[in-house]
Amino acid sequence: MSAVDVIEQVTDAARLIAFGLRPRLMPSRDLCYTELVKRFAEDAVFRSFVESVAEGLGITVLDVSARTGIVLGPVADSAFEQKLDDYARRAILGDRHQERVLHGLAHIAIAALAFPRPDDLAADTYIGRVSAEQVGSVVREACKMLSAKAVAAEEAGDPLVEAPELEQVWRAYLRRPETALTKDGRPAPSTTQGVITKALRFLVDQGFLAKVNDDDGGTYRTTPRYQVQVRELAAERAFTELLALNVITVTDPGGSLRTVPAAPAEVTGV
């Protein structure tokens, strides 16, 4: 391969990665993008150039297909990494650790509602639906269940010493008011509704969700790109713990979800 050929390969590889940095753009809307995605699938040499350029930029190639486009994920300390500290700090000025955890919990709940079963993540045709009210209900119910679990353990003389990640945040979430409006009518960022609204809007901006309507505080459907991202998230301990609380279920194979009503005993004393 000549030097000119190498330069062309690197240039095209960088061009494909650049398309991936525009998350709301799909190959179906750009002929050049479509051709580069096809080339990635069929040309092993070009594929190695794309992966090498991405590695040099501190990016991991998670998936490339006509359905998803090129889906990228930053490695630790990459210039492209979206740190939860920065994300939360832009929302509210307060306890940094607490805000980071609350915003992280909202994102985990959205992912868990969108794809509650392993089969949902494995099926490329699956489309999840999630609403702001669902997320708020699920997170608050999960926190109540965690609170009851902690109280029961203390009363039994066996306090939770090595508490899972979610059990470390229920107090902060339950203390936070659910709703309040700013002077211009927007959800106040200091409320749990504000935290959830910010998470949903961020996911839309990243091409992971698409808004369907304004029902239930805003209803959204998942995109193939989000499915790829959640497959990575599913390995996280907190995601598994939230699903294990059994406050999420599927009502039909089309992706319509609801929360499971809590029994009175689960919320007593909260």
Q: Which pTM does this prediction carry?
A: 0.73
Domain boundary among 49, 74, 99: 74
More confident position, 203 or 162: 203
Domain check: are 211 and 151 in the same one?
Answer: yes
Domain boundary among 25, 42, 74: 74
221 and 199: one domain? yes
Dump pLDDT digits (tens) for 64-99.
999 999 999 888 777 776 665 566 555 444 556 667
Last residue of a domain, one of 74, 95, 119: 74
| pLDDT > 70: percent of the chain | 71
Count of other CB atoms within 10 angstroms of residue 183: 6
User: For the segment 160-200, what is each residue's pLDDT rounded down to a tens digit?
Assistant: 555 555 566 677 777 777 776 667 766 666 788 888 988 89
According to the model, what pLDDT value does residue 242 have? 66
Same domain, 152 and 35: no
Mean pLDDT of all residues in 221-235? 85
* Within a domain: 79: no
Cβ atoms < 10 Å from Cβ of 213: 9
Does residue 61 carry a pLDDT above 60? yes
Give the tens place of pLDDT for each residue, 19-32: 999 988 999 999 99
Q: Residue 228: which of 81, 123, 98, 96 has the closest Cα?
A: 123
Contact status, residue 225 vs residue 68, Cβ threshold 8 Å: yes
Among 83, 88, 20, smallest CA distance to 51 is for 20
The answer to whether residues 233 and 239 touch, using CB atoms and an 8 Å cutoff, is yes
Domain limits at 19?
3-74
Question: pLDDT tens for residues 229-251?
Answer: 888 777 666 666 666 666 665 44
